[in-house]
Structure 1
C-alpha cells in the first residue's frame, strides 16, 4: 500500500473485468474480508488532518471571539461554559452543511474535489430534491435557483454570525449564552432550505443538531436536561434499530475495513468460514450484540447518575466505545460526529451531574416534548421506514436502510457526466484522474461488493436478474455514489437516490426504455420479516414491486452461490417494452 496506491488482490485486473459479474463480486468480497476497501494511506491522513481541524479551529474561534473566555491555552478554565457548547454545535452544523463532515473525502469516493456540499449548493442549476414538492407550495422543481443559493448562503451566514457573536446574560460562567435571535435564525433558515432541498437539511445532520438548537431557546436548566435527553435518544434510538438480523453483517464489514487492525487472522474470524462462507460468524454476532448492550446500558446509567465517580467511569467507557467506532473509519465516515458525541457526553454529563439537573427538575414541559418528538421519529422510522429518512428515525449503522442499485447501459455514465450540472465529475471520471481504467473500474465495483456483503445486498444482487435480461450487458453501480456526484452529498440515505432522483434525471436526459433501471429496497419494518422492493425504469416507470424475506437474504452468500436470483413475493408487475 502506497500513499495513493490502493491495496489490490494479486490478480490480473484486465482478466478480472472479463469474468461474469458474480464471479468478479466474489473475488472482491473475499478481498474485503481481509483488506476492507484497500484504502491508500494518503486517504487516512486526509481524515486525520480533518479531525484535528474540526477540534482546533472552532475552539480557537470561540476563545478569540467570545468576551469572558480566556485564550486557547487556558481552555481548562472555560470549556465548561454553556456558550462554548452552543457555539461548538453551530460550528458542527457549519462544518457538516458545507460538506466537510459526513460523506466527504476518498472513502466516500470524493477525490476532485474531496467535498461536495457548498460547491454544489452555492451553484445555480445543480439538482435539488424537495421533501414534499406536491404538498408544500413553492417547493416544486428539481433545479437549484438563485433563491435557493441565497437561502443556503444565508444559513452559512447566520451560523458564522452565531459563532463569533457575544453572549448575553444567562446560564453559568462569565461568558453568558447565545442571544435567542441566533438559534431562531438558524432554525428558520434550516427549515426554509430544507423544504426546498432535503439533501441540505440532512447534510446539516438536523436529526441531532437541529433539535439541539431548538433546546438553546429554553431556560438554562431546561436546556441542559433537553440536551441530555437528545443524547439519550441518539444512543437508545441507535441501539433499538440494531435489534435485527442485519447488524452483525455491518459489524463484520466495518471491522474488516479498520486500518488499525492489521491482523488478517482476526478479520477472518469475523466470517463463518473464510473465504467460502462470508456470512458473519458467532464472533461477529457477539461483537454486534455487545455494542447494542453498551448503547443501552451506559447511557441509562449516565442519565440517572448523580455520583461523579460513577459518571466518570461510564464516560470513559463511552469514550472508548466511540473511539473504537471511529478507528474503523466506517462507511460514510462520521468521524467528527463520534468526536462530537464524546465531547458532548463529557460536557453535559460530566459537568452537570447534580440533582438540580436531573430529569425531573425541568421548569417547563419543553424538554419532555422534545423527547416525545424524538421517540415518535424512532417509532415511525422503525415501523414505516418509507416515510422518513433513516437519520430522522435514528437507525444509525443498523444495516437496515433504504438502498438502491442502478443498472445502466454502457454510455449512460458518460451522458450523466455531460448533461447534468454538477460541481464534480461522476465518480468514475474522478478515479480515472488517479488510476488506469482497470483499477478505476475495480474500485467502482468494490463498493457494489461492499453493498452485497450486507444482508439486503444479497437481495440487490438477486433482483438484478428480474430487472434486466443479461446482467453482463450492463454497468451496475451503487446508488450512493451517483447521489454523491449528482446531488453533492451522500450518507447512506437511499431516499436521496430512489425514484425521485431517477425522475429528475429523466426530465433532463430523456433516457430510452432500458437505459437505466433501478432496484430499490426499503428498510425492514421492525414488526415484519420482509423488505419491500421496487424495480423502476427511467423511461417507463414501475416494472415490478414485491417483498423479499429477510430470512432468504441472510442465508445466502453475496455472490448468491451462482444462482443469480433470490425468492420474492411479487405484489404487482407492469408490462413494458425493453429487456427483462
Structure 2
C-alpha cells in the first residue's frame, strides 16, 4: 500500500499465512481521527462486503499442532502405560496434568490468540511468577501488589507438589491437599496464580480427588455446575453479540459470507444482531443450560454427551481470543468420561463427605450466585460466566510521550504488541522469503490492537461509550490527534503485567491494589495514563456502568451509567460526546481545568 492511500475497499483479505491489509497507513492514517480509524476495521475487515477474520488461516493449524502436543505429552510421559486410558489412575493424572500445564502457562491464553509472541509462546506466567518485583493480583484489599521472594518460593513448591501428585502411584488426599493448601495460602497475596491454575474448574476437581469413595461424583457435579452456571450467565441480552463476534472472527468466516451478513440486521448499515443471531444465541443458551441435566439423567446421557461435544467443538474451531482450546478438549473429555463411560450416581456409600459437600455448595452455588448477581465482586471465571458477552473489560489510555514509563514494568515481553512481532520470524524462513510471503508487520499489529480490536468490542453495547470517552479525553487533555496517545486493551496488557489474564478486568476494579502498584513502578504524571473500566452487568440488572481512573493518583475522574436498551439501540460507533454526557453521573476532570 502506498503511503498516501486511505481507501476502505479493494484491500487484501487475510490469507493462509498473511494478516489482512490495514485500512490506511502513512500520512493518510495520520489524518484520520480516532473514530475514523475504528471505522476502518468495524465490519470485521476493512469495510469488506462481509465480515471476515483478519488473522491468517494458518492459526488454526498452529492450534491443532499445539493441542496434539498437549495430548501427546500426557499420553507419552504422564499416563500409566500399564493401564487403560479410562482407568481411574490415568483419569486422575489427566486432571492434575491440566492443573500443572495451566499453572505454568502452556494452556489457556498461550499462543497468538492469547496475544503472545513466539519468544514466550507458552510460558509467560513462569516469568512473572518466578520474578520478584513483578505486579501481583491480591485477593485481599490493602495488600501491596508486588511479588516478593516468599511468593516466588511458594510458587516453586506449588509446582513441585503438583508434579509429585501427578506422578504418584495413587492420587488421593495426601497428594492433592498439599498443593491446594499452598494455593489457598498464596491467593490473598496473588490470586492470579489460582486463576492461572483454573481453580474454578480443575481446582474443584482436584479437591474432589481427595475423597476416595466420592471423587467421581464430585467431578460430575463440578462439570454439571460449570455448564449450568455458564448457561445461566447468557440469559441476559448480551450473549447474542458473542455469537456474532465469534462467528465473524472464525478462520472459517470466508466460507460463509451470506450467513455472516445475515447475523446483522442490515449489514453493513445496521450492525445490530439480527433475528437469526438472536435465535442462534437462544439455542446456545438453552443447550448449555440443558447439557448438564441431560448428561446426569440416564436415558438422555448420551444425548447430553453429543451436545457437549458439539458445543465445545464450536468454540474450539472458532479460535476465540484467550486461546482456551485445551480447556475445550478437557470439557469434551469430561463429557465422554464422566457421563459416557460412567453414569451419574451418588457415591457408593450413599453419602457425600461433609467437607466435599461444603466446597461443592460454596464453589458451585454460593460463589457463582453472588458472581452472577453482583459480577463486579467476583472474578468472572469463579462466577461461571465464560463467553457471556458481559465482561469486566478495560483499556489504558496512555499519552505517547509517557509510553517509555511502561518499560519500567517487569514483563516477559513488550507491552506494545507490535514490538513482539509474533509471526515476522516466519517471513525470514528461506522458502517464504523467496516467495515474498507477507506474514505480519509491526504496523498491522499496532493498528489492530489500537483500533481493530476496539472496533470489534464496541459491537457489544457495554463498551460503546469507549469511543466518546476517548474523544472526551482528547478534548480535556488537548491531544491534537489520535497519535498523541495509545490504547492498551486490558487482556494482553494484564497478561504481561500479572503473568496471566483471561479477560479478567476484575483486577482493575475501583480501589484495586493494582493501581498504586502500577503507579509506584511507572511514576506517571497526572493526565498521562487513564484506565477506562467497564463493569459487568448483573443477571437481573439492565444498566451498564463505567468509570475512568487517573492512574497518577488513583482518582476516579469520570463515572457514568446507561440503560442497556439505549446502548443497544445505537450502532457500534454511533455514540458521541454529547450522547455520552447524558449518562455521566460524576465528572471531576472539569475541576482539573
Q: Is the 8 A contact 1:483 1:489 kept in 2?
A: yes
Q: Is the 8 A contact 1:225 1:362 kept in 2?
A: no
Q: 1:567 Cα deviation (Å)?
A: 5.6
Q: 1:197 Cα deviation (Å)?
A: 1.0
Structure 2 residue runs without a partner (length 5+): 1-13, 425-439
Q: Tell me the SS of whatever aligns to 1:519.
A: strand
- Equivalent in the alignment of 1:158: 161
Q: Tell me the SS of whatever aligns to 2:268.
A: coil
- Partner residue of 2:115 out of 109, 134, 140: 109
- Equivalent in the alignment of 2:430: none
Q: Is the 8 A contact 1:199 1:496 kept in 2?
A: no
Q: 1:271 Cα deviation (Å)?
A: 1.2
Q: 1:237 Cα deviation (Å)?
A: 0.3
Q: 1:385 Cα deviation (Å)?
A: 1.4
1:545 and 2:526 aligned: no
- Equivalent in the alignment of 1:173: none
Q: Tell me the SS of whatever aligns to 1:242.
A: helix
After the TM superposition, which segments of 4 or more aligned residues of structure 1 sit over 6 Å from their partners?
none
- Equivalent in the alignment of 2:249: 257
Q: 1:354 Cα deviation (Å)?
A: 6.5
* Counterparts of 2:153 and 2:185, CA distance in 1: 11
1:13-44 C-alpha deviation (Å, 9 max, x unpaired): 65234311112112201134845551124433
- Partner residue of 2:373 out of 370, 383, 392: 383
Q: 1:286 Cα deviation (Å)?
A: 1.0
Q: Is the 8 A contact 1:249 1:280 kept in 2?
A: yes
- Equivalent in the alignment of 1:493: 504
- Partner residue of 2:520 out of 507, 510, 530: 507
Q: Tell me the SS of whatever aligns to 2:580.
A: coil
Do the aligned partners of residues 560 and 245 (structure 1) sit closer, same or farther apart at CA in structure 2, a change above 3 Å counting? same
- Equivalent in the alignment of 1:297: 290
Q: 1:11 Cα deviation (Å)?
A: 5.0
Q: Tell me the SS of whatever aligns to 1:548.
A: strand
- Partner residue of 1:474 out of 460, 470, 485: 485
Q: 1:166 Cα deviation (Å)?
A: 0.9
Map residues 262-301 of structure 1 onto 2, 5 A cutoff.
Answer: 262-301=255-294
- Equivalent in the alignment of 2:18: 5
Count of aligned pairs: 548
Do the aligned partners of residues 117 and 354 (structure 1) sit closer, same or farther apart at CA in structure 2, a change above 3 Å counting? closer
Q: Tell me the SS of whatever aligns to 2:116.
A: coil
Q: 1:150 Cα deviation (Å)?
A: 1.1
* Counterparts of 2:97 and 2:159, CA distance in 1: 10
TM-score norm. by structure 2 comes to 0.87
Q: Tell me the SS of whatever aligns to 2:188.
A: helix
Do the aligned partners of residues 279 and 110 (structure 1) sit closer, same or farther apart at CA in structure 2, a change above 3 Å counting? same
Q: Tell me the SS of whatever aligns to 1:424.
A: coil
* Counterparts of 1:467 and 1:14, CA distance in 2: 23
Q: Is the 8 A contact 1:17 1:24 kept in 2?
A: no
Q: 1:268 Cα deviation (Å)?
A: 1.5
- Partner residue of 2:324 out of 334, 340, 346: 334
* Counterparts of 1:565 and 1:95, CA distance in 2: 47
Map residues 10-409 of structure 1 onto 2, 5 A cutoff.
Answer: 11-12=24-25, 15-32=28-45, 34=50, 36-63=52-79, 66=80, 69-70=81-82, 78-111=84-117, 112-115=119-122, 116-134=124-142, 140-167=143-170, 178-220=171-213, 222-261=214-253, 262-305=255-298, 307=299, 310-353=300-343, 361-373=350-362, 374-409=364-399
- After alignment, is 226-235 or 118-127 more displaced? 118-127
1:424 and 2:431 aligned: no
Q: Is the 8 A contact 1:129 1:196 kept in 2?
A: yes
* Counterparts of 1:228 and 1:13, CA distance in 2: 56
- Equivalent in the alignment of 2:403: 413
- Equivalent in the alignment of 1:171: none
* Counterparts of 1:311 and 1:84, CA distance in 2: 23
Q: Is the 8 A contact 1:480 1:497 kept in 2?
A: no
Q: 1:314 Cα deviation (Å)?
A: 2.6
Q: Tell me the SS of whatever aligns to 2:322.
A: coil
- Equivalent in the alignment of 1:73: none
Do the aligned partners of residues 388 and 123 (structure 1) sit closer, same or farther apart at CA in structure 2, a change above 3 Å counting? same
Q: Is the 8 A contact 2:132 2:149 kept in 1?
A: yes
Q: Tell me the SS of whatever aligns to 2:285.
A: helix
- After alignment, is 97-106 or 361-370 more displaced? 361-370
- Partner residue of 2:470 out of 454, 457, 464: 464
* Counterparts of 1:371 and 1:199, CA distance in 2: 22
Do the aligned partners of residues 426 and 163 (structure 1) sit closer, same or farther apart at CA in structure 2, a change above 3 Å counting? same
1:513-564 C-alpha deviation (Å, 9 max, x unpaired): 1101121121111222212221110123111323222112211122126667
Do the aligned partners of residues 494 and 411 (structure 1) sit closer, same or farther apart at CA in structure 2, a change above 3 Å counting? same
* Counterparts of 1:351 and 1:505, CA distance in 2: 49
Do the aligned partners of residues 520 and 158 (structure 1) sit closer, same or farther apart at CA in structure 2, a change above 3 Å counting? same
Do the aligned partners of residues 151 and 181 (structure 1) sit closer, same or farther apart at CA in structure 2, a change above 3 Å counting? same
* Counterparts of 1:430 and 1:45, CA distance in 2: 24
